[in-house]
Structure 1
């Protein structure tokens, strides 16, 4: 992949709403060429989507519970972990799914309205899959940083530091 392509991807990853004209100036290419590169990267599924990072904790009516679930599975002959991963990522509660190294095989990130909803997902849907051996659920208490964006209310400790 060309260096200009990587540069464009990095800029889009930081701000997907950056105007094409601004992007063209930043990488020193014509607007038409930038548009063609972006279209090509979308067609090749290098760019798979555009998203916005939102601090949902500031909108009380939409508060949700996020959990990361470590899952130990028995891989299936011929397809490895892909078959069970596909069954898991098809559930609408699943926000992300990763194959991991270490003690657990899969890491599943889910969202629910309540802790009970997350618990029901684990007991009724996830743990009933044949290949699932065990699960460990971790509830997210506070989000400090996500996708490179720091979540801060700007209120730090404003006390004067006193040293002996």
Structure 2
């Protein structure tokens, strides 16, 4: 990957809504070069998609429960953890799966409408997979920062500092 491709990726990672003309101006290349570079990176599965980060806590009707689940598994011969991870990430509730170092092997992020729904997923779907030895579920109580963006309603204190 060359420096221009890396620069393009850094730009759209910070703001996926940038249009081609803005990107090409920022990178000092033509719109055609920008378009071709984007298509190439998408075709090579380097750019996997474009998404918005939503603060669902602002919409009481759509608020969801997020849980991080540590999973200890027995890896499968010849494929390691990959097949177990694939089986887990195919569930629609699962938002992310990571292979981890440490006590647990996989970290699974899921969303449900209620804690009971998350608990049901863990007990009926996740724990019943043959390779799963144990799980530990952690519920997200509040998001402060996600993907580099701060979730905050606090306005900056505009009062003048007074010193003695």
Same fold, judged at TM 0.5 (above): yes
**How far has the Cα of 1:3 moved from its partner?**
0.4
Distance 1:28 1:138 in 2: 46
Residues 43-79 of structure 1: per-residue CA shift (max 9 Å, x gap)? 0000000000010000110011000000000001011
Secondary structure in 2 matching 1:67: strand
* Partner in structure 2 of residue 108 of structure 1: 108
Quick one: distance in 2 between partners of 1:139 and 1:5? 38
Q: Pairwise mapping of residues 11-50 of structure 1 onto structure 2 (< 5 A)?
A: 11-50=11-50
Q: Is 1:59–2:59 an aligned residue pair?
A: yes
Q: TM-score, normalised by structure 2?
A: 0.95
Between the aligned partners of 2:28 and 2:10, the Cα distance in structure 1 is: 15
Aligned partner of 1:130 in structure 2 is 130
Give the superposed CA RMSD. 1.9
Q: Please, what TM-score do these two structures have when normalized by structure 1?
A: 0.95
Aligned residues: 164
- The DSSP-based 3-state class of the residue aligned with 1:22 is helix
Q: CA deviation at 1:111?
A: 0.3
